[in-house]
Amino acid sequence: MNQLMRMTVLVVLLAFALMYGASALNSSQGYSGANTLTIYNWGDYIDPELITEFEKESGLKVIYSTFDSNEAMMTKIEQGGTTFDISVPSEYAISKMKEENLLLPIDKSKLPNLKYIDPKYMNLSFDPNNEYSIPYFWGTVGIVYNPELVKGIEFKSWDDLWNPSLHNQILLVDGAREVIGFGLNSLHYSLNDTNEEHLQQAKNKLKELTPNVKAIVGDEIKLLLANEEAAVGVVWSGDAAEIIDENDKLTYVVPEEGSNLWFDNIVIPKTAKNVEGAHKFINFMLDPEHAAQNAEYVGYATPNKKALELLPEDISGDKRFYPSPEVTAKLEVYRNLGKRMLSHYNDLFLEFKMHRK
């Protein structure tokens, strides 16, 4: 080979390497453009058929990835290098992301289906006028349990989790606010408490729960409980609904000391490359037929009034998953406690997790 040919081969090889590198980057970091829509959602939080249908209807290719906590999602978006067009944070995370300038405003003129949302889920304090977020699902945190395996315990109170007969029988949702929150609630403190002494008390009380805790897990919590691998779980309401759907021996309660009421809304992160497509997707999910299909599939409570009418009565009338206003009035919504306090909650949760090892 003469020198010129060698050079040409080298240049061609280099060009291929660059092209390969760029496409690898595209798929791993969710680069999107006019023909794609990049969605970053909670695990098990959409009926996959709806994604296929949206792709057909819009002509967009959906690139889908999932997270299992608000904290993980926020860290990823804050770090940059992603191009998510859609995400679904909970209320305190929306408030924090707004503060950090991580969200784009929603253009409501592009959402004709917004009229189907029940006004009681609009204009909540974490996002006045829904400038940055549109209701997706709502729910509670509570205890799912198998009465056959817990010898008469009815789980009226969080304290029932500490019953010594539950040795190695409890699975916990892997969420810092959820676990520290029920620790605080069990002591009759608010789950937004920032008093250091109360937080230490909650952490110490949680440490005493350790012998009863079998594992702290993500979405696999549903399979484990439905298969009776453990008798009790601290879970989000819709996960409980799905578990009970699989195994109707189990039931779900929200303890009487109080618990968390949460709202997950769809947002368009600042990283979006397809803002037009993001609005199309939000409007698609607001369609009552789609919202009903989605609620039936994932088990969570829909804020879409028209969709609720379309759901079978055994779902929409189930007070465990659509609690009455009297019950929800007693529950607390997480407040955005600020960056420092949130990382303190994360540290306390980590300490609790380490204590188990």
For residue 67, list its beta bridge partners: 42
Q: What ranges make up the beta strands (E) of 188-313? A: 213-217, 232-236, 251-253, 261-266
C-alpha to C-alpha distances, 344 to 70, 78, 89, 151, 176, nearest whole angstrom: 15, 18, 20, 37, 10
**Residue 61 Cα distances to 106, 175, 225, 231, 293, angstroms:** 22, 31, 35, 41, 21
Asked if 262 touches ligand N2P (CB under 6 A), the answer is yes
Quick one: which segment of 36-44, 153-161, 182-190, 337-345 binds ligand N2P (CB under 6 A)? 36-44
Q: Does 43 bind ligand N2P (CB under 6 A)?
A: yes
Stretch that binds ligand N2P, among 6-14, 43-51, 56-64, 288-296 (CB under 6 A): 43-51
Which residue in the set 90, 130, 133, 185 belongs to the binding site for ligand N2P (CB under 6 A)?
90
Residue 258: CB minimum distance to ligand N2P, A? 17
Count residues binding ligand N2P (CB under 6 A).
9
Could you tell me the two tokens for 132? 């940055």
Among 54, 155, 236, 252, binds ligand N2P (CB under 6 A): 236
Helices 196-209 + 339-356 axis angle, to 10: 20
Query: CB of 289: closest distance to ligand N2P in angstroms?
Result: 22
State the Cα angle at 87 between 321 and 80, rounded to 5°.
145
Least distance CB 242 / ligand N2P (angstroms): 9
92 has binding-site annotation: yes
With a CB cutoff of 8 Å and minimum separation 6, the contacts of 152 are none
Give the SS3 label for residue 171. strand
Q: Which residue of 42, 54, 145, 349 would you call a contact of ligand N2P, by CB under 6 A?
A: 42
Identity of the residue, 189 or 263, whose beta carbon is nearer to ligand N2P in the bound complex: 263
Query: Does 45 interact with ligand N2P (rule: CB under 6 A)?
Result: yes
Kindly indicate which of the ranges 10-18, 41-49, 182-190, 342-350 contains the residues binding ligand N2P, using the contact rule CB under 6 A: 41-49
> Which of 53, 55, 118, 219 contacts ligand N2P by CB under 6 A?
219
| Min dist. Cβ of residue 262 to ligand N2P (A) | 5
43 — alpha (psi -120 to 50), left (phi > 0) or beta? Answer: beta
CB atoms within 10 A of CB 157: 16
Residue numbers 316-355 binding ligand N2P by CB under 6 A:
none
Q: Does 47 bind ligand N2P (CB under 6 A)?
A: no
In angstroms, the CA 203 to CA 348 distance is 7
**Which residue's Cβ lies closest to ligand N2P?**
42
Does residue 44 touch ligand N2P according to CB under 6 A?
Answer: yes
Query: In degrees rounded to 5, what are phi and psi of residue 146?
Result: -110, 100
220, 234, 232: which is closest to 169 by C-alpha?
A: 232
Nearer to ligand N2P, 45 or 121 (CB): 45
**Contact between 304 and ligand N2P per CB under 6 A:** no
User: 3-class DSSP state for residue 290?
Assistant: helix
Residue 221 Cβ vs ligand N2P, minimum distance, rounded to whole Å: 9
| Of positions 264, 265, 308, 321, contacts ligand N2P by CB under 6 A | 264
Stretch that binds ligand N2P, among 22-30, 37-45, 155-163, 191-199 (CB under 6 A): 37-45
Of residues 297, 150, 346, 176, the one with CA closest to residue 233: 150
Could you list the residues known to form a binding site for spermidine, using ranges. Answer: 92
Please report, as ranges, the residues that interact with ligand N2P according to CB under 6 A.
42-45, 90, 219, 236, 262, 264
